[in-house]
């Protein structure tokens, strides 16, 4: 199991000095943004390359976070496409039309 640290808001920058490892800090930020609606259901969260650029982290760290989010059920990752939000914490129902079909 994993404990997502608290205290990392959607706009937080990561702190390499903090006790929490970067990939957990980043997971907290992304989960916050998903709950936020910044990344709506069915849409993709930033991919590995974008996370590297926007947070100034290495590829392995960014990927580790996305793998963790997938394991936690927040996103579903599709090779060659991206990681798509499959859960929302805003209370809004999934409406209809999630054109995500993989298996």
Partner DNA sequence: CCTTATTTGTTCGTATGTATT
Partner DNA sequence: CAATACATACGAACAAATAAG
Let me know how long the chain is: 103
| 3 vs 93, beta carbon nearer DNA | 3
Nearest to DNA of 3, 91 (CB atom): 3
Q: What is the 3-state secondary structure (H, E, C) of 21-83?
A: CHHHHHHHHHHHHHHHCCCCCCCEECCHHHHHHHHCCCHHHHHHHHHHHHHCCCEEEECCCEE
CB of 77 to DNA, least distance (A): 4
Is 43 among the residues that bind DNA (CB under 7 A)? no
Stretch that binds DNA, among 4-12, 20-28, 34-42, 89-97 (CB under 7 A): 20-28
Under the binding rule (CB under 7 A), the answer on residue 68 touching DNA is: no
53: which strand partners? none
What are the residues binding DNA (CB under 7 A)? Answer: 16, 21-24, 44, 47-50, 56-61, 63-64, 66-67, 70, 77-83, 102
């Amino acid at each position: 199991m994993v404990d997502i640290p608290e205290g990392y808001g959607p706009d937080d920058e990561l702190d390499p000095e903090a006790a929490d490892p970067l990939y957990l800090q980043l997971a907290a930020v992304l989960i916050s943004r998903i709950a936020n609606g910044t990344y709506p259901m069915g849409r993709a969260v930033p991919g590995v390359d974008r996370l590297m650029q926007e947070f100034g982290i290495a590829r392995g760290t960014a990927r580790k976070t996305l793998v963790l989010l997938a394991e936690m059920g927040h996103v579903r990752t599709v090779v060659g496409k991206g990681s798509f939000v499959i859960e929302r914490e805003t209370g809004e129902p999934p409406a209809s039309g999630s054109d995500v079909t993989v298996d």
